[in-house]
A and B are shown apart, each in its own frame.
Chain A
C-alpha cells in the first residue's frame, strides 16, 4: 500500500489527543466511513465545530484515503495496526479504528467491487408469445412467435437499456438449452 505524506501527517494529527479528544476522534472516524459508504453523513460535523476546519478537512481526507487503500488491498488487522502504530496511534485508538473497519469491511468491498468498466450487464428478461395471423405482404401466415426483451445495464451510459428480438419456438428452445448448459457448467465449476 502506497500512502502519501499527507495521509501520514493527517493520521499523526488524529493520533494527538490535544487536537482530537476521544469523542472527536470517534466522530471523525465514523464520519470518514459514512462519507464513503453512505450518502448522508452530516450529523458528526456539528459536534466537531470546535476543531480548526483545515485540520478537520485534512484528517478526514487522510482517513478516507487510508480506508479506501486498505479496502482495495484487503488489509488485515496486523497491517492496519502496524501503520497506525507508525503514526503514533495509542492502543485504544488502534482498536477503535480496527473495530470500525471490521464493521464496515463488507460494505466497503461491495462498493469497491462495483467500481469499474464492464460489459453491458443483463438484469432481467421479459417475453411475449404471439400468434401471427396476417401481414400486408402475405395474405395468411398463422405462426406462433416469441418476442424476448433483455433489460441491460450499461456502465458507460444508458445507450441501450433493452435488447429485443423475435424467435420461433425452436429458436427459443435453442436459446434456453444453451443458457442451461452455461448454468450447469457454472454449477460444476463452483463444486471444484
Chain B
C-alpha cells in the first residue's frame, strides 16, 4: 500500500523542498496545531509575510502537510500491525495445540504400598501447550529407556529438515 498524493496535493507541498529546514519544521508545528485546534488565519498571515509568499500558499502548505501526516500515520498503523495481523490469521487455520515449553524432573521411586525397597527411576515432565490463546499443561512421566527412545526419534525428525528432499521442497514451493 503506497501513499498516493493527488497532483493538487503535490503542488501544495511543492514549495517545501525549496525552503530551509527551519521553515519546514515551523510548518510541521503549525500543521500539528492545526490538527489539534483547527485553522488559525493569523498564523498563516504571519508566516506568509516572513516567507514572502501568499497566505494561500501557507494555508495549502499546512493543509497538505496535515493530510500527509494523517495518511502516514494510518499507513504506519497498518505496517506496525501487519506482522501481528498475519500471525493471527495464520493461527486461525485449523490447528492443534502448539508447543510452548517443557519442564522436567528426575524422580526415583523408593517404595509403594505393594512393594518396598525399590529403586525405580523416572522422569516427570510438564508439557506446556498453547491452543487458541489458552495455556494448557500436561504432567506426564516416562522411564529412562523411553526417554532415550524419544530423544532418538525426535532427533531423526529434526534431521529430516536437512535432507535434500526437504530442502528442495522448501526452495521450490514459494
Q: How many residues of B contact A (CB 8 A)?
A: 55
Which of A4-12, A48-56, A91-99, A127-135 is near enough to bind chain B?
A127-135
Interface residues of A in 79-124 (CB under 8 A from B): 109, 112-113, 115-116, 118-124
Given the complex, which residues of A lie within 8 Å of B169, measured CB to CB? 131
Q: Are A180 and B157 in contact (CB under 8 A)?
A: no
- In the assembled complex, the Cα of A120 lies from the Cα of B142 at a distance in Å of 8
Which one of B93, B115, B141 contacts A119 once the chains associate, using CB atoms below 8 Å? B141
CB distance from B171 to the nearest CB of A (A): 11
Given the complex, which residues of A lie within 8 Å of B102, measured CB to CB? 174-175, 178-179
Q: Are B98 and A166 in contact (CB under 8 A)?
A: yes
- In the assembled complex, the Cα of A131 lies from the Cα of B174 at a distance in Å of 11
Q: Counting CB contacts under 8 A, is B121 at the interface? A: yes
CB distance from B64 to the nearest CB of A (A): 36
Which one of A150, A166, A190 contacts B140 once the chains associate, using CB atoms below 8 Å? A150
Q: Are B166 and A129 in contact (CB under 8 A)?
A: yes
Q: Are A119 and B96 in contact (CB under 8 A)?
A: no
Q: Counting CB contacts under 8 A, is B95 at the interface? A: yes
Q: Are A137 and B89 in contact (CB under 8 A)?
A: yes
Which one of B124, B129, B151, B166 contacts A179 once the chains associate, using CB atoms below 8 Å? B151
Given the complex, which residues of B lie within 8 Å of A189, measured CB to CB? 106, 121
Q: Counting CB contacts under 8 A, is B36 at the interface? A: no
- In the assembled complex, the Cα of A146 lies from the Cα of B125 at a distance in Å of 20
Contact residues of B: prevailing secondary structure: mixed
CB distance from B138 to the nearest CB of A (A): 6
Given the complex, which residues of A lie within 8 Å of B160, measured CB to CB? 129
Given the complex, which residues of A lie within 8 Å of B93, measured CB to CB? 132, 135-138
Which of A17-25, A33-41, A59-67, A69-77 is near enough to bind chain B?
A69-77
Contact residues of A: prevailing secondary structure: mixed
Which one of B149, B155, B161 contacts A169 once the chains associate, using CB atoms below 8 Å? B161
Q: Taking A127-B153, A142-B174 as contacts, is the C-beta distance between A183 and B158 under 8 angstroms?
A: no
Given the complex, which residues of B lie within 8 Å of A118, measured CB to CB? 141
- In the assembled complex, the Cα of A164 lies from the Cα of B138 at a distance in Å of 11
Q: Are B114 and A127 in contact (CB under 8 A)?
A: no
Given the complex, which residues of B lie within 8 Å of A119, measured CB to CB? 124, 139-141
- In the assembled complex, the Cα of A173 lies from the Cα of B142 at a distance in Å of 20
Interface residues of B in 93-111 (CB under 8 A from A): 93-99, 101-104, 106
Which one of B97, B157, B166 contacts A165 once the chains associate, using CB atoms below 8 Å? B97
For this complex, 9 residue pairs linking A to B, each with C-beta atoms less than 8 Å apart, are A119-B124, A127-B153, A131-B166, A137-B90, A137-B93, A164-B97, A178-B104, A179-B102, A179-B147
Which B residues contact A (CB, under 8 angstroms)? 86, 89-90, 92-99, 101-104, 106, 112-118, 120-121, 123-125, 127, 129, 138-144, 146-151, 153-155, 157-158, 160-161, 166, 169-170, 173-174
**4 additional contacts (CB under 8 A) given A132-B93, A169-B158, A183-B123:** A118-B141, A120-B140, A120-B141, A131-B170
Which A residues contact B (CB, under 8 angstroms)? 71-74, 109, 112-113, 115-116, 118-127, 129, 131-133, 135-138, 141-142, 144, 146-148, 150, 152, 163-167, 169, 171-176, 178-183, 185-186, 189-190
Q: Please provide the 6 A-B residue pairs with the shortest distance between their CB atoms, ordered closest to farther.
A: A135-B93, A167-B99, A119-B141, A112-B115, A122-B142, A182-B104
